[in-house]
Amino acid sequence: MRKKQRTPRVLSIFADRRAAYAALVSLLILQMLWLRWMDVLALSNMRVGGVDPIGYYVYLPSLIFDRDLDFAAEYAYFQGIGDASPDQERTVTGKMPNPFAIGVAMLWLPFFLIGHLAALAAGLPADGLSPPYQIAVYLGNVVYGFAGIVLIYRLIQREFARDIALLATVVIWFTSGVLYYLFPLVPMSHMPSMFIVALLITTWFAWRDQPTRQGYLALGVVAGLAALVRWQNALFLVLPGADILSAARRRGVDRNLALNALTTGAAFLVLFFPQMVVWKVLYGSFITVPQGAGFLSWFKPDFFDVLFSSRHGLFSWTPIILLAVIGLFMFPREKRTVGYLLAAAFALQLYINSVAVWVGWSFGMRRFINCSALFGLGLAALLTKLQQHIRLRYLVLIAVLPIIWNMLFVVQYYSGWMIPRDDYLTFEQFVLDKFTTLMLLLTR
């Protein structure tokens, strides 16, 4: 009788769902301990600052405490941090400009209210601006980030083997910008964006299995919320949109299909309408590019720099993403259409990021963090192919190297003295200084 092959004890977590979730929680705790050891993770560092975070944050105190969209008081509080200033030029409607999306503030709202209770309990200013509010929002960002990681794992293990799903999730987490933006210097929009896009793809997968009227409605609701968080997320509507067009080609546009498509579109517009109202109040138009006409150069995409520049290039800073994109074309035959649609969604994100004004301070090309679920699925497809030739234990060992590399990159970026946060990197900064960083950590 043939003896049943046992899974090595060290790798058993890859085959058990509950153990996999426990592993993800353990890795989160380990990351927190690592950052605490580096003196990065501390209550004093959990604050709102910089250009983007202030823009996302000020909606909350302005709407809840002042009940308006005039950010003069909030900008005065944050003056000298980022571009916040009550003296900047007002818009055509006489309001303070704010080119950032309102959806992030909407997702932060529950944590902002927890901060309000904490401020009241501690006897601190309950004005929407004091430290308890900012700490609560920072921690809320972590919650959304980790929820996004869990959703990515669930997405992958729905389509691929559970062991591959856990490995792909951990690799995307620790070898990409997710590692930094889960606990950044200041809270950004990327973790809420990663979470909501993962939720959108989850909704799309469920709808593909059973395209009910409720499913069409859910797609529109989640897609509208995703666009509220980051407007470029609206492009992920290409996923259900392509399926709807395919159905229309196969059986024609019948009344049922038309009503379902209209349901998705109407739900999307209803959820996105708050942003349109904000634009109308601040800029005088329901549809606008608040950063100005020069923010998007529609016919001058800069694909090469976005992907390969030493200044935040997607593939140059996080080469594992290149493998993940290749993996989108390696889905099993019966799922190949899904892989191609995900690749099309990535292509649209690549285009919009290539025509937009270059990012400022950034760990890697942060505008692609919303694609983390796509990258996880692509990497899982690639790992599934590789597992036919390389055992899982060896794939795990191979993954350790890019993980260490990215962790050293994060240390460099946190420190701010080994690499510039908004400039091109030399070969020494990009490669050699990582060995210097490693030696400093080992002798700390």
pLDDT single digits (tens) 208-227: 999 999 999 999 999 999 99
Q: Which two tokens stand for residue 306?
A: 């976005």
Q: Alpha-carbon distance 257 to 253, whole Å? A: 6
- Whether the CA torsion 363, 365, 369, 375 is positive or negative: it is negative
Structure confidence at residue 50 (pLDDT): 87
Q: Which two tokens stand for residue 239?
A: 């996923």
Place of tokens 């919009």: 352
Using CA atoms, how far residue 276 sits from 153, 219, 224, in Å, is 34, 20, 12
Which positions of the chain have pLDDT values less than 50? Answer: 1-7, 10
Structure confidence at residue 2 (pLDDT): 40
Query: Within 13 Å and on the Cβ side, how many CA atoms surround 377?
Result: 28
Structure confidence at residue 82 (pLDDT): 63
Place of tokens 């001058």: 300
Range list of H helices, 160-212: 162-175, 178-181, 190-209
Q: Which two tokens stand for residue 74?
A: 């909030």
pLDDT tens column, 302-361:
999 999 999 999 999 999 999 999 999 999 999 999 999 999 999 999 999 999 998 888
What is the DSSP secondary structure assignment for residue 430, as one 8-state letter?
Answer: I
Closest CA to 208 of 243, 247, 184: 243
Structure confidence at residue 18 (pLDDT): 84
Percent of the chain predicted with pLDDT > 70: 95
Structure confidence at residue 3 (pLDDT): 43
Q: Alpha-carbon distance 151 to 13, whole Å? A: 18
Contact of 302 with 352, CB cutoff 8 Å: no
Q: Alpha-carbon distance 175 to 317, whole Å? A: 9
Q: Which two tokens stand for residue 216?
A: 């069409």
Closest CA to 58 of 88, 100, 117, 113: 100
Query: Within 13 Å and on the Cβ side, how many CA atoms surround 342?
Result: 32
Largest pairwise CA distance in the chain: 83
Structure confidence at residue 198 (pLDDT): 98
Contact of 182 with 406, CB cutoff 8 Å: no
Structure confidence at residue 87 (pLDDT): 77
Q: Which two tokens stand for residue 321?
A: 């993403």
Closest CA to 350 of 372, 328, 367: 367
Q: Nearest 5°: CA angle at 434, between 430 and 437? A: 135
